Amino acid sequence: METAISTMQTAQRRTIGSLAPWLSRIVMVPPILIMILISIRCITDPHHAFAATGLTLGTPEAITDTRVIGGLTLTIALVIAASVVSRTRLRMGHLTVIALMGLVLAVRLFGFAVDGTTLAMGDQQVKFTGEIVFLALNTLGFALQTYISRRHGVMQ
Q: pLDDT, tens digit, for every residue of 85-97?
A: 987 889 999 999 9
In-domain check, residue 107:
yes
In-domain check, residue 88:
yes
For residue 41, give Cα distances in angstroms to 54, 61, 121, 126.
16, 17, 22, 19
Q: pLDDT, tens digit, for every residue of 93-132?
A: 999 999 999 999 999 999 999 999 999 998 999 999 999 9
Q: What pTM was computed for the model?
A: 0.81
In-domain check, residue 7:
no
In-domain check, residue 144:
yes
Domain that holds residue 54: 20-151
Q: Provide the angle, in degrees to the nearest 10, between the axes of the packed helices 90-115 and 60-84.
A: 140
In-domain check, residue 5:
no
